[in-house]
Structures are given as C-alpha cells and as structure tokens.
Structure 1
Amino acid sequence: MEEERREDGVAEGEMKSCSVAGESGTLSNWMEKHPKYVELMALDVADCTQVYTAFLVYLDLLEARNWHDVACIGSEELQLIYLQGCERAGDTPQVVIPTPTHESLTHKRIREIMKHCCDQDSREDVVKMSIVLAIVESDFTVVYYKLTDGFVVPDPPDIVEDMDNRRWRKRKSRVC
C-alpha cells in the first residue's frame, strides 16, 4: 500500500524532523526529544523556525519567569503558534506571540493576531485587547513587549513610591 505524502514530503501521521541550524547535535537531539517540542511539532501549523522559537519562549516563561498554566496553541488560520498563560497564579491569561528577530510584522498582521487570539467578549473597560510579543535572538535572549489596541491608562503609583518622590522633591528644594 502506497503512503500518501503531503507537499512537504511527510506522510500522514509521520512527524517531520527539524534540525536547528548552527546548534550542536546534543542540544538539537535533546530538544527534539522533549515532550513539549514534540507536541509543538505535532500541531503542524508552523515552520521549524516558529516551532523552535515557540519552544524557547515556552521554556523561558516556565523556567526563568515562573509563569503559570502556560499552554501552546496552534492557529491554522494564522499559520502561527502562540502561547497563553498567567504571569502570576490567578491572573488573567495573557497571549504571548513568539517571534524570531529576523521576522517582520506589519500593523495589519499584528491586528489579525490580536483579533484572532484575544477574547472578544471581554468588556472594554476591564481589559483592553493586548498581546505580548516575545522576540527571540539567535543567542536565546528573549525580549518581551506588550502591545495593546489603543491607549491604556497606567496603574496608579504605589503609595511607597509616591512618598519617595515627595521626599526627593523636598530634599531637592532644600539644596537649591
């Protein structure tokens, strides 16, 4: 019986292999065997670079930043893997978009991602539509930028911070 192959040459039910360019064989083998990496590959909605980037951001969120309930979601419509999780236990889940540094995003693409990934039922006065863009450099550095739909009023300053500012202004006025 002949197997039916897709355009990328992978038979149905077979997982394609992604080797990470420039990485040592040990690191690449370790990553390719990691259960979450295998899960991301099985989503089959993105190319190897996106899967690799999503995996690095996933590890960074869990291991370095101690996020909670991080889930990997594949969007066939957007051809994108994104993550959803909470910065602290009990917080509202945030959408994180893993992006390699060489990938360009247009305003139109960002708007498409926001509309697709964010909860449209949330009340406008409670939560603005927002995503966290996780930009991954080739040396595994991850930089996070929060993007919102429109302006967001900042939180009021902490009382301690406000008192420190008052003390600083008093000292400054005495010196001058």
Structure 2
Amino acid sequence: YTDLHLVCHPALRQAWFKVLGDEEQKKACQVFEHVYEQYQKAFSERHDENDKAASPPVSDPAPSVPNDLMHSIVSTVKIHTTSDAPQRSELERWYSGDGGAGNPHYPLDWWKENEQEFEVIALMAKDFLAIPGASVAVERLFSGSRHACADTRCSMKAATITELMCAREWIREGLLVVAGLPPIHRV
C-alpha cells in the first residue's frame, strides 16, 4: 500500500519513484493503474445505478422563434467548448501534474478541493492516505497491554500496569538485568 499512498499524494505522485529509478517507477505505475481500474469499475457501476434510479428527464418546451435583437446577436457567436479539444484521461491528467501539488503536509485538504477534477483517484486517495502510518506500533502496544491486563491481573492499579510494561520492554532491550536470569539477546 505504500506505493499507492505515495502515488496518491498530490505533492509526490511519481516523483518519489523517479528518484528510485525507472524500474521502481514502472512497477509503482502498474500497481497504481491496476487499482485505478478496479476503483473505476466500482465508480462506473455506482453511477450507472444512480442514473437508473433518477427520474426521467423533463423535456423542454418547444423553442420559440427568437425575434429580439439580443437573441439574434448571441446566436451568431461561436463558443468553443472543451469538447472540441481531445480529452485526456483522468490518469493522464494526474500523471502530468494537473491541479498542482498543494501543501505537502496536508494532502487530504488538496483532495477535498480537487475531488471533482479527479473523481476516481480521489476515492483511492481517501482510502489510502487516510491509513495512519504508525497504526501497527500502536496496535502492538495496546495488544501488549491487553496481555498484561488479563483477567487474572485485573485488580492491578494503572501505575502497576505501566511499571510492568516498562520493565518488560527494558528487559527485552537489555536495559534491565534481572538477577539470576541471563540477558535476552535479540537476533
């Protein structure tokens, strides 16, 4: 998920992998594009269901024949729409850096402002950038405290549990030597 996290970050995109080399960049793009396709399928299916559930469109009344000066002048003006230019895919726009980098410390704020421009990638970014980087260490800590606070020890005070957990870590790290026990060496 780290590759996806980095490519979804608006300030990094592919830049991190360019530093690592062409092969790493190619792998990261392949993974990103594979996940993008999965999200795009889900996004399309959701929009198809929403379109089917929507009420039928109301037809406009028959246009009246314009007879005022303003309408006749406006009808002669040619407006060039973006549909005249070839449309780039969402991935092409993302890879080319559309939307700018934003604040590198607040990527989710950037996504909140730009989610309409990159609808599918915005869904990916919300999923992958919202994963806290330190969740594994925190979960391990709480799991360790759960084992220390088993039902047989539930009458311990908070200070005693804290001391127990600190002593256990100090013994594991070799900072505390218990008399009569050999030091634990990690491999």
Asked if TM exceeds 0.5, the reply is: no
- Structure with more contact order per residue of length (Cα contacts < 8 Å, sep ≥ 6): 2
TM range (shorter): under 0.3
TM-score (norm 2): 0.20
Q: Counting strand residues as a fraction of each chain, which structure ranks higher?
A: 1
* Bigger-Rg structure (1/2): 2
**TM-score w.r.t. structure 1 length?**
0.21
Structure (1/2) with the larger helix percentage: 2
